[in-house]
Structures are given as structure tokens and as C-alpha cells.
A and B are shown apart, each in its own frame.
Chain A
Amino acid sequence: DGGITQSPKYLFRKEGQNVTLSCEQNLNHDAMYWYRQDPGQGLRLIYYSQIVNDFQKGDIAEGYSVSREKKESFPLTVTSAQKNPTAFYLCASSLGGKETQYFGPGTRLLVL
């Protein structure tokens, strides 16, 4: 069953805590992306990776970190430096940087 998966579906973070969101794809896509979605706003790019072991900051990278050690996986860590982390986080992948992006089901992060 091919696709892109994200876990968990819901995640709760305490003040000062780092949390990691998982994103896995078995589509053999080279490029992967992390977006943040807030009510009434368009998706905003946090980080993207066009190839394994390489990634670049998007428009709102502050307070986030990523790694791309495997082609299939692109985890996102929301650090304590991100002061307003409550949002819906979407991971996407594409065959290449110019190709159609396929999205995962999303993770909703809430701050306790």
C-alpha cells in the first residue's frame, strides 16, 4: 500500500518540551516537505529536502529542526524555541522539486 504517513495524529506538548513528528513515504520520492497550517492562512513551508542528507530552510524554519538520513523518512522536531507551536502540520513528498506534491494526513500539535 503506497503512500505517505504521519504520526501521531494528535500530539500534546508541554512548555519547554521538544517533540518530534514522524513522516514516512514509500513512494520512492526524492523530495520531502514540512508545512504548517493555521486557520485562515495558506500552508507555510517550514523545511524541505530535495535529496537524502540534504535539507533547506523554508519560510518559517525558526524553532524547528529536521533530518533526512533515509530517503523514506523526514522527521520534524518542534523545539522549545518555537513559541507558538499549536497548528496542523502537514508533510508532503514529490518525485522531484518540480513535481506534484502528495500530502500525508497531518499531525495536530497542541500545547498544554
Chain B
Amino acid sequence: KNQVEQSPQSLIILEGKNCTLQCNYTVSPFSNLRWYKQDTGRGPVSLTIMTFSENTKSNGRYTATLDADTKQSSLHITASQLSDSASYICVVRMKTSYDKVIFGPGTSLSVIP
């Protein structure tokens, strides 16, 4: 079954600290993996996208990694800010005629002062 799992479900960290969010998937055939940030009550916004051949991709303080062999990805946030408080969603696209997209349940991050 094609699934995307994320851990932890929720996380609270102090402002300025680093954190790492995990994504495991069983999606096949794999096309790409994307991390989205979703602020409360808003639509998701894309942070990074990685294809099979890419191991790491950075976007400012966000760094995503991908291990296609173990089907795992992580999103590392450096020097967290209050504005990082949001849900982070891992999304895997299948390589099919339509390219079906499968969303993970998200990790809720709260950054506190």
C-alpha cells in the first residue's frame, strides 16, 4: 500500500534551537518528494522538492535530505524562529500516468520563546 508516514506527530522547541522532522514512505514507483509548510488555517506552501538522484536540498534555514534506498526523508530546521510554527507535510509523487500525489499527515511544530 502506498503510504507516507511522518514523525513526530507534534513537536515543541525553544526559539533558536534546531529540529529534525522525519518522513518514511512506501510509495512506488517514486517520482519526487516535496516538503510543504502549512500555517494554521492556510494552504500549504512548497519548501523543497527532491528527485531520486538528489540527496539534499536547502532553502534558507530549511534543509531536506532524501535516502531513496531506505525511502526516508528528513527536514532539518536551523535556528528556529517563532514564524516556523506550522505543520510540515511530506508529499510523495508517484510515477504513474497521472502522477498521483500522496500526502503525509504532517508534523505540527510549535516554536516558543
Contact = CB atoms under 8 A, between A and B. Distances in A.
Interface stretch (B12-20, B41-49, B53-61, B71-79): B41-49
A42 interface: yes
Interface residues on B, range: 20 to 34
Given A42-B102, A42-B105, A42-B106, A100 B46 contact: yes
A105 B99 CA distance: 24
Contacts of B4: 42
B99 A106 contact: no
Interface string A28-61: 0000000100001111110000000000000000
A57 B55 CA distance: 34
Interface in B1-26: 4, 9
Interface string B99-113: 101111110000000
Contacts of A43: 44, 89, 103
B103 A97 contact: no
Interface string A72-112: 00000000000000001010100001101111111010000
B89 A42 contact: yes
Contacts, number: 43
Contacts of B42: 105-106
Contact of A106 (B41, B101, B103, B106): B41
Nearest to B98: A97
Contacts of A92: 43
A73 B46 CA distance: 22
Nearest to B90: A42
Given A97-B99, A105-B42, A40 B49 contact: no
Nearest to A48: B98
B43 A105 contact: yes
Interface of B: 4, 9, 31, 34, 41-46, 49, 89, 93, 98-99, 101-106
